[in-house]
């Protein structure tokens, strides 16, 4: 196991009706003037925004609001949020939504006190220590941004980028996780979220680091729980118990508790970000197409690891490692397909002729040389995209 530091300071309030605690939690974490940030229509329509406002009012906290965050959030709204936060002397950003809203909120929180263009922090300038606190009321289990140090924004140049500097300061101070709130999700979004959660585990599990049995077992356990609960939640997004398990799994998959002490991969995410930047597809749907392609490409470089995945997660019994590894990947594709997720470029709405330019885009973001089991370069990006395009 590798040496590591791990700092995950988010306070969780989990359960039915917990959004009524919002005002109290903002106060507990030092907020007095809040920017409420949310997405399209869902949180307004469900009455959640009104309940959050009531909780803030009851706690004597004033607020301004900014809705309209799109999936794959854009820099334009971040600039608007930064202006609003400065204009009103906001000292706390409250995200009510999913990964897109939370990431937009994190970018505003980092950008408002920054003396310059917030986009610098996505282009190599480390974020400073002067960052506004962020709180979250989560409405979809997926990106794990409610406790992660990540933040993904699409710039005005149409590149989708992740914070480049150390960003642990941007981990939310609190996250309210009420599984009732995901009952209004369309089944396709439950499935997209499930694919993303599983992908966050894969990025860590498929590692070249040996002797990480503790986190390997945590990864496998989370995957088994998701395989059991996701079909229930996709069938019925109002299944509270299934949603509750998925919501907690989504947090555990990405606050890095299962990723410490090992070299991680993350190429599939970078390849997917290029897809969602180009076609505006849902992140989880893009991963459902990219990850099996990545697996089929990489399994030859560490077949025993892929055979272990097949046996421990999918119950595959083949004794030959290569046969087992292939079988495990097929089981994953069948599982995701049963949830209605796409398998290839055609089902996703992506085009084979864009592969070269997407590979260039990934390389331009400095991703050549990344990877855990192997290091990837532009030629590898192209081959993995081709496997994804042609998958059956």
2, 41, 123, 238: residue in contact with ligand NZQ (rule CB under 6 A): 41
- From the list 6-14, 98-106, 126-134, 307-315, the region that binds ligand NZQ by CB under 6 A is 98-106
Q: Does 148 bind ligand NZQ (CB under 6 A)?
A: yes
Q: From the list ligand NZQ, Zn ion, none, which binds 148 (C-beta under 5 to 8 Å, kind-based)?
A: ligand NZQ
Determine the size of the site formed for ligand NZQ (CB under 6 A): 35
What is the Cα–Cα distance from 246 to 178, expressed in whole angstroms? Answer: 11
What are residue 93's DSSP bridge partners?
Answer: 35, 134
φ, ψ at 69 (rounded to 5°): -65, 130
Nearest to 36 by CA among 85, 99, 100, 77: 85
Query: Nearest approach, Cβ of 283 to Zn ion (angstroms)?
Result: 6
Q: From the list Zn ion, ligand NZQ, none, which binds 344 (C-beta under 5 to 8 Å, kind-based)?
A: none
Q: Does 42 bind ligand NZQ (CB under 6 A)?
A: yes
- From the list 2-10, 56-64, 66-74, 315-323, the region that binds ligand NZQ by CB under 6 A is 66-74
Nearest to 343 by CA among 297, 292, 277: 292
Given a contact cutoff of 8 angstroms between Cβ atoms, the answer to whether 253 and 222 are in contact is yes
* Opening angle at CA 308, ends 307 and 313, nearest 5: 110
- From the list 107-115, 178-186, 255-263, 366-374, the region that binds ligand NZQ by CB under 6 A is 178-186
Residues 248-277 touching ligand NZQ, rule: CB under 6 A, are 254, 269
Query: Nearest approach, Cβ of 210 to ligand NZQ (angstroms)?
Result: 26
19, 103, 146, 196: residue in contact with Zn ion (rule CB under 5 A): 196
23, 31, 81, 97: residue in contact with ligand NZQ (rule CB under 6 A): 97
Q: Does 197 bind ligand NZQ (CB under 6 A)?
A: no
* Beta strands, E only, the chain: 11-14, 33-38, 62-66, 92-97, 134-138, 152-154, 160-162, 174-177
Q: Does 145 bind ligand NZQ (CB under 6 A)?
A: yes
What is the Cα–Cα distance from 259 to 201, expressed in whole angstroms? Answer: 8
The label of the residue with tokens 């998959």 reads 253
Query: Nearest approach, Cβ of 200 to Zn ion (angstroms)?
Result: 6
Give the burial string for 327-343 (b: 16+ CB within 10 Å, else e).
Answer: bbbebbbebbeebebbb
Residue nearer to ligand NZQ on the CB measure, 71 or 328: 71
3-state secondary structure of 68: coil
Contacts to Zn ion by CB under 5 A = 196
Contacts to ligand NZQ by CB under 6 A = 39-43, 71-73, 97-101, 103, 139-140, 142-145, 148, 150-152, 181-182, 184-185, 189, 193, 196, 254, 269, 283-284
């Amino acid at each position: 196991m590798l040496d590591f530091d791990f700092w995950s300071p988010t306070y969780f309030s989990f359960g039915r009706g917990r959004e009524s605690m919002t005002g109290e939690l903002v106060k507990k974490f030092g907020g007095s003037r809040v920017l409420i940030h949310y997405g399209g229509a869902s949180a307004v329509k469900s009455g959640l925004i009104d309940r959050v406002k009531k909780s803030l009012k009851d706690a004597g906290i004033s607020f301004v609001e900014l809705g309209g965050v799109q999936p794959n959030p854009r820099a334009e709204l971040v600039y608007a949020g930064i202006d609003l936060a400065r204009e009103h002397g906001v000292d706390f950003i409250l995200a009510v939504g999913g990964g897109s809203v939370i990431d937009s909120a994190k970018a505003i929180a980092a950008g408002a006190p920054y003396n310059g263009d917030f986009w610098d922090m996505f282009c190599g300038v480390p974020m400073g220590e002067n960052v506004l606190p962020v709180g979250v009321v989560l409405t979809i289990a997926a990106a794990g941004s409610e406790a992660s140090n990540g933040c993904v924004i699409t710039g005005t140049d149409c590149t989708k980028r992740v914070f480049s500097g150390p960003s642990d300061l941007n981990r939310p101070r609190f996250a309210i996780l009420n599984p009732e709130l995901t009952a209004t999700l369309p089944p396709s979004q439950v499935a997209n979220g499930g694919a993303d959660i599983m992908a966050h585990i894969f990025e860590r599990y498929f590692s070249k680091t040996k002797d990480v049995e503790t986190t390997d077992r945590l990864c496998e356990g989370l995957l088994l729980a998701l395989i059991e609960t996701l079909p229930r939640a996709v069938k019925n997004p109002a299944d509270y118990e299934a949603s509750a398990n998925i919501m907690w799994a989504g947090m555990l998959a990405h606050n890095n508790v299962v990723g410490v002490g090992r070299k991680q991969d993350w190429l599939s995410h970078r390849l997917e970000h290029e897809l969602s930047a180009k076609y505006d597809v849902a992140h989880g749907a893009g991963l459902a197409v990219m990850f099996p392609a990545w697996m089929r490409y990489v399994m030859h470089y560490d077949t025993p690891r892929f055979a272990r995945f097949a046996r421990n997660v999918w119950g595959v019994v083949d004794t030959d490692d290569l046969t087992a590894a292939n079988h495990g990947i097929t089981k994953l594709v069948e599982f995701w397909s049963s949830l209605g997720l796409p398998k290839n470029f055609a089902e996703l709405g992506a085009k084979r002729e864009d592969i070269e330019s997407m590979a260039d885009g990934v390389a331009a973001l400095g991703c050549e040389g990344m990877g855990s089991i192997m290091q990837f370069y532009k030629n590898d990006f192209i081959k993995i995209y081709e496997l994804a395009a042609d998958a059956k």
